Amino acid sequence: MRTHLGLSLAATGLAVAAGLVNLSCSSIDCGPGTVEQDGTCRPADEATNDALCGGVGPFATVLGLDGKCEAEVPTVCDLNTTREEVDDQTGVTTCVGTAGGCMTEIQCSAPDAGKVTLCGRVWDSETDQPFAATVVGEPTMQCTTPTTEGPCSLRLRFFDALDFAMNPTGAVPIVPPDGVFQDGCNRYKGHNMTRPTFGFIGVAADDAAGAPARHKLTGVAASNAFATPGRGFRVYATRNTTDTMWSTTAGLAGQTFNERGVLAMVFRYNGVPRAGVQGRRNMNVVPADDYYFSDTGITRTTVAPAQDSTGANGTVLIINSPTPIAHDGAGAEPPGCRWPSNLSASIQGVTFMQLKDAETPGGAACP
């Protein structure tokens, strides 16, 4: 959340001084909230507020993190190799590569009013890396015929997240007007989709029709507010071998994690997994229903039944939450921040992945 600093008498004096500079014979026209020093516009020495920052052109200023006006550096994209994408929520401009190849992100335009759009890549639940392309040939081609391996062996579908949670095998998909885009680079897009009434859109990944049965049904969810558009959103795919490995190392008898239904929460700070977090359900730890990994890196391979908090991969597996209920975490929170609480469930026959990035008490990203 943006903090507005009070306007002090000293700051008022600086504003007057800046105005006098602008009336002098100096050839440097400094922006609001800055002063001319040795022929260069520099931030004012006193804290100010964003009402004193502004202007246009090369000397425009914005409010910096230290509460002072600083020079605004505009984003300029190379039109030959990139295109501009402006985030509708933050106003931040990002230069997205258009040179081709799997490193390039697909175009993700904002949806029409009342619609939602999600774009991103498919990630591997075990390796925590983009799902590997293994098809020989042109890797950037759109998936048309299912392959035996790789991203085009998967089927991605969109749902109202509540409908999916209540009936994952019978929920009616939300079909984008232009269909679901998938390609051999593990990229996907669902554009201009009907806005879910519950407020969250779910994405499910499993085996494509006609492809070998090598993956477990895996779900993720995003809020309607995020999906306007939601760029860079991770969808996860879980291999059968991954589910077997998790269940075997955990010592589960009978059903596997996926068969029982499992919620996998990944706690992160600035995109880095966080060790030392205990998963909670309805603000209570669940020692009989939580499982953690002993991996020393970001991969998720070995469940350690005796471990009672997240390891290096920041992940906890929780079972026996059959209906949506608040889940969060406790421990290893960055100073002044918390782990977000979200309605989640361990849905029978589904591996549900949920990234939990540390946030401030007001819900903003933890600095």
Q: Are residues 257 and 235 in the same domain?
A: no
**Lowest mean pLDDT across 10-14, 34-38, 141-145, 215-219:** 10-14
User: pLDDT tens digit string along 288-315?
Assistant: 999 999 999 999 999 999 999 999 999 9
pLDDT value at residue 361 = 96
What average pLDDT does the segment 28-36 reach?
A: 59
Assess if residue 76 is contained within a domain: no
**Is pLDDT at 135 greater than 70 in this prediction?**
no
Please, which residues have CB within 8 angstroms of residue 114's CB and are 6 or more apart in sequence?
195
Q: Count the domains in the chain.
A: 3
User: pLDDT tens digit string along 76-100?
Assistant: 665 444 556 555 555 566 666 545 6
Residue at a domain's end among 39, 71, 103: 71
Please, which residues have CB within 8 angstroms of residue 256's CB and are 6 or more apart in sequence?
243, 244, 246, 247
Residue 86: domain span:
82-239
Q: Are residues 102 and 215 in the same domain?
A: yes
Residue at a domain's end among 207, 239, 271: 239
Token pair in block for residue 262: 């499992």
pLDDT value at residue 141 = 83
What average pLDDT does the segment 34-63 reach?
A: 58
Assess if residue 365 is contained within a domain: no
Residue at a domain's end among 71, 94, 114: 71
Q: Are residues 23 and 100 in the same domain?
A: no
Q: Are residues 267 and 319 in the same domain?
A: yes
Q: Are residues 49 and 87 in the same domain?
A: no
Q: Are residues 233 and 87 in the same domain?
A: yes
pLDDT value at residue 55 = 62
- Tell me the CA distances in angstroms from 362 to 63, 194, 223, 225, 340, one per residue in order: 20, 29, 17, 16, 10
**Is pLDDT at 318 greater than 70 in this prediction?**
yes
Q: Are residues 86 and 234 in the same domain?
A: yes
Which position has the higher pLDDT, 219 or 55?
219
Which position has the higher pLDDT, 93 or 166?
166
User: What does pTM read for this prediction?
Assistant: 0.74
**Lowest mean pLDDT across 68-72, 199-203, 224-228:** 68-72
Q: Are residues 224 and 182 in the same domain?
A: yes
DSSP 247-272: HHHHT--SS-HHHH-EEEEEEEETTE
Averaged pLDDT of the chain: 83
User: pLDDT tens digit string along 244-281?
Assistant: 999 999 999 999 999 999 999 999 999 999 999 999 99
Q: Are residues 103 and 228 in the same domain?
A: yes
- Tell me the CA distances in angstroms from 284 to 254, 280, 281, 302, one per residue in order: 27, 5, 5, 25
pLDDT-derived band at 345 (thresholds 50, 70, 90) equals very high
Which position has the higher pLDDT, 21 or 152?
152
- Tell me the CA distances in angstroms from 217 to 189, 203, 251, one per residue in order: 19, 10, 22
Listing from the earlier edge strand, what are the strands of the sheet with 278-281?
A: 284-285, 278-281, 325-330, 342-344
Using a pLDDT cut of 70, give the percent of the chain over it. Answer: 71
pLDDT value at residue 213 = 96
Assess if residue 339 is contained within a domain: yes
User: pLDDT tens digit string along 105-118?
Assistant: 999 999 999 999 99
Site of tokens 């949506």: 324
**Is pLDDT at 71 greater than 90 in this prediction?**
no
Give me the CATH number covering residue 310.
2.60.40.1120
Q: Are residues 194 and 309 in the same domain?
A: no
Which strand (E) or helix (H) includes residue 215? strand 215-216
Assess if residue 363 is contained within a domain: no
Please, which residues have CB within 8 angstroms of residue 284's CB and are 6 or more apart in sequence?
none
What average pLDDT does the segment 316-339 reach?
A: 97
- Of the candidates 125, 218, 209, 224, the one whose C-alpha atom is nearest the C-alpha of residue 174 is 224
pLDDT-derived band at 24 (thresholds 50, 70, 90) equals very low
Assess if residue 212 is contained within a domain: yes
Assess if residue 202 is contained within a domain: yes
Amino acid at 212: P
Assess if residue 364 is contained within a domain: no
pLDDT value at residue 132 = 78
Question: What ranges in the chain are assigned the alpha helix state H?
Answer: 9-22, 161-166, 240-250, 257-260
pLDDT value at residue 21 = 29
Listing from the earlier edge strand, what are the strands of the sheet with 230-239?
A: 181-182, 187-194, 115-124, 230-239, 215-216
Site of tokens 């983009």: 130
What gap in Å lies between CA 200 and CA 251, rounded to an integer?
34
Q: Which residues lie across from 262 on neighbouring strands?
A: 351
What average pLDDT does the segment 131-139 reach?
A: 62
- Of the candidates 272, 268, 289, 262, the one whose C-alpha atom is nearest the C-alpha of residue 357 is 268
With beta carbons less than 8 A apart as the criterion, state whether 22 and 16 touch.
Answer: no
With beta carbons less than 8 A apart as the criterion, state whether 189 and 118 touch.
Answer: yes
Q: Are residues 186 and 51 in the same domain?
A: no
Q: Are residues 156 and 86 in the same domain?
A: yes
pLDDT value at residue 28 = 53
Assess if residue 77 is contained within a domain: no
Phi and psi for 359 in degrees, rounded to 5? -135, 165
